[in-house]
Amino acid sequence: MKKFTVKSIRKTEKPAADKEIAKEEIVDIYKETQNLPEIQKPVYHKSIWVLVVLVSMLFGFASSFAYDFLFTIDVGTANSQKIIIEKQEEVTVAADERLRELGKTINPVIVNFYDQTKGVDWQFYQDDYSFGNGFILTTDGWIVTVKSVMNKIGNKKYALLTADYKIYTAEKILSDPTSDVVFVKIKADDLPVVKFGDASDVSSGQEVFGFIASYPESRRASLHIADLQFSALEDVVASSEKHSHFFSSREGYDPSLIGAPLVNLSGEIIAVVVDSNSAMPVAYLETAIDDLSKKEKIYRPYFGVHYINLAKYPRVDAASGEMRDRGALLSGWQNLTAVVKGSPADKAGLKVGDIITMVEDELVNGKKSLTQIIGDYNPGDKIGLTVLSNGREKVVETELGVMD
């Protein structure tokens, strides 16, 4: 191991002549600084402190607004009340709790159609044996589903399973003559029902939820409304007797959703999924409830026209040069005639090229199509029509017939 030794460092002395020169330089510098002005201690006025306080307050307000803008989320509108929540862990908890509440509201009305071909004893009611969905419409046992579900069933034996695990068989089946909806009657009383939502309150981009009747617990699909005026027809000509107003979604509709209800954040059913592309607003079903409960048959009004919805397909009037963006333009196409011979519309004197702008006091302006407006009436009702014919406005009256 090496030993470390301490060596002394000798100080070197500067010559005396150098010391004298340094002293003279210091004296000269001192003399020069004597003529400089005296440095004063800074004085702070009250106005400066007021300015500091004001600037601090402004920065405080700015940070508050920046927080609201950057760290809050607008999660939508429910019952006209906007809900704003902060980006914290509580967001997930609040959203999950809201969805659980929706499930408690909707699950009791969901119904599933199950294959019963091999008997009921061995059934576990798995998804593989499901034909599709439906939901309870009335407390006395009318169920809503769609034609594609019934077509899938065909001649097979099936059962309806409700959320309380009760098994029912169909007693009666009625098809809606103007839509793809089917009504199935089961023997039951005091069934739960859910309020319908207004289709006019639905907006593009709105989040809705499809509830699938899967047991032991239902499944939920999150969807977003894409088009409020989606038409299932391949052309632009609509029928006054065929419902063609549907909702489409950005995500499309999975086959497991067929027959399922679409629900808004308020827990209201707004539509029923018809196929992979469209869902039909359920407000259209409200007029059928009285018929089902009292007559056990669906009666739909008959008017007898084909038309182009100008709110969706506007046109320029060749004579006046005006843009026509509201009303129903009576028009035929291929084997479809604008006005069916012998129909209530024909009896009212309507003809091809006429534009129906109003039914009673309700405008035909795109919020509701002519088909939807006519569907709100009953067979035998007399209605007044405001019509633009050959550039002149007139009012005619007719009595609605009944669909066969």
- Tell me the pLDDT tens digit for each residue of 106-165: 889 999 999 887 655 555 667 778 899 999 999 999 999 999 999 999 999 999 999 888
Position 50 scores a pLDDT of: 63
Position 248 scores a pLDDT of: 85
pLDDT at residue 22 above 70?
no
Closest CA to 203 of 277, 265, 284, 273: 265
325 and 249 in one domain?
no
Give the C-alpha separation, 210 to 285, whole Å.
Answer: 18
Q: What is the mean pLDDT of residues 337-344?
A: 95
Question: Model pTM?
Answer: 0.68
Residue numbers of the domain that contains 356: 301-402
Asked whether 311 and 326 are in contact (CB, 8 A), the reply is yes
Position 124 scores a pLDDT of: 62
Position 376 scores a pLDDT of: 87
Residue 245 belongs to a domain = yes
Residue 29 belongs to a domain = no
Provide the CATH number for the domain around residue 321: 2.30.42.10
**Residue recorded with tokens 């065929």:** 242
Asked whether 111 and 161 are in contact (CB, 8 A), the reply is yes
**Start-end of H helices in 348-394:** 370-375
Q: Between 123 and 183, whose confidence is greater? A: 183
- Tell me the pLDDT tens digit for each residue of 250-305: 888 999 999 999 999 888 999 999 988 889 888 778 878 877 877 777 888 999 99
What is the CA 347 to chain-centroid distance, rounded? 41
308 and 279 in one domain?
no
Position 252 scores a pLDDT of: 87
CB atoms within 10 A of CB 182: 20
Residue 186 belongs to a domain = no
Residue 92 belongs to a domain = no
314 and 277 in one domain?
no
Q: Which long-range contacts (CB under 8 A, 24 or more apart) does 16-23 make?
A: none
Six token digits for residue 118: 């091999």
Sequence-ordered list of residues with C-beta below 8 angstroms from that of 39, at least 6 positions apart, any chain: none
Sequence-ordered list of residues with C-beta below 8 angstroms from that of 12, at least 6 positions apart, any chain: none
Asked whether 189 and 139 are in contact (CB, 8 A), the reply is yes
235 and 203 in one domain?
yes
270 and 309 in one domain?
no
DSSP state of 336: B
Q: Look at strands 130-136 and 110-115 and give their pairing.
A: antiparallel
Q: Between 185 and 94, whose confidence is greater? A: 185
Residue 17 belongs to a domain = no
362 and 325 in one domain?
yes
pLDDT band at 71 (very low <50, low <70, confident <90, very high): very low
327 and 266 in one domain?
no
Position 142 scores a pLDDT of: 94
Closest CA to 224 of 284, 285, 279, 144: 279
Asked whether 347 and 217 are in contact (CB, 8 A), the reply is no
pLDDT band at 83 (very low <50, low <70, confident <90, very high): very low
Q: What is the mean pLDDT of residues 211-218?
A: 74
Residue 230 belongs to a domain = yes
Six token digits for residue 41: 């201690």
Asked whether 157 and 142 are in contact (CB, 8 A), the reply is no
388 and 306 in one domain?
yes
349 and 280 in one domain?
no
How many separate domains does the chain show? 2
- 49: three-class secondary structure by DSSP: helix
**Start-end of H helices in 36-166:** 46-70, 90-106, 147-153
360 and 327 in one domain?
yes
3-state secondary structure 308-334: EECCCCCEECCCCCCEECCCEEECCEC
Provide the CATH number for the domain around residue 228: 2.40.10.10
How many residues are present in the chain?
Answer: 404
Position 47 scores a pLDDT of: 62
Asked whether 350 and 306 are in contact (CB, 8 A), the reply is no
Selection from 34-43, 60-69, 163-172, 216-225 with the highest mean pLDDT = 163-172
Residue 7 belongs to a domain = no
322 and 279 in one domain?
no
pLDDT band at 235 (very low <50, low <70, confident <90, very high): low
Write the Ramachandran bin of 132: left for phi over 0, alpha for psi from -120 to 50, otherwise beta.
Answer: left
DSSP state of 217: S
376 and 323 in one domain?
yes
DSSP state of 107: G
Residue 375 belongs to a domain = yes
